[in-house]
Amino acid sequence: MIKKPIATEKAVRLIELDNTILFEVASQDSKDEIKSEVEKTFNVKVEKVRTLSRGSKKIAYVRLNKKNPAIDIATKLGMI
């Protein structure tokens, strides 16, 4: 379950350079669950999902396909 997008300086740089969006997700979610939820919610193709657990938070780095610019989704979410 996607809780919220992350809009830090590093996150914005990743959106612009690597076509990657950061989300805070539920700690029990797997990479496959995160991938399918992002694809279904935003109607995009996900190339790769990496996760990072920090304490009680889990952050997902979601890299989108080159045909789906991450900046468009970030704009819809109000991050940029």
List phi, psi (to 5°) of 24: -85, 130
Structure tokens at 14: 């990743």
Q: What is the pLDDT of residues 12-44, one digit of tens each?
A: 999 999 999 999 999 999 999 999 999 999 999
Name which of 29, 52, 77 is nearest 15 in CA terms: 77
Residue 80, pLDDT > 90, answer no
Question: Which class would CATH give 2-77?
Answer: alpha beta
**Can you tell me the mean pLDDT for 46-66?**
96
* pTM for the model: 0.94
Whole-number average pLDDT of the chain: 95
What is the side-by-side order of every strand in the sheet holding 2-5? 2-5, 20-25, 57-64, 46-54
Q: Where are the domains of the chain?
A: 2-77
pLDDT at 34 (0 to 100): 97
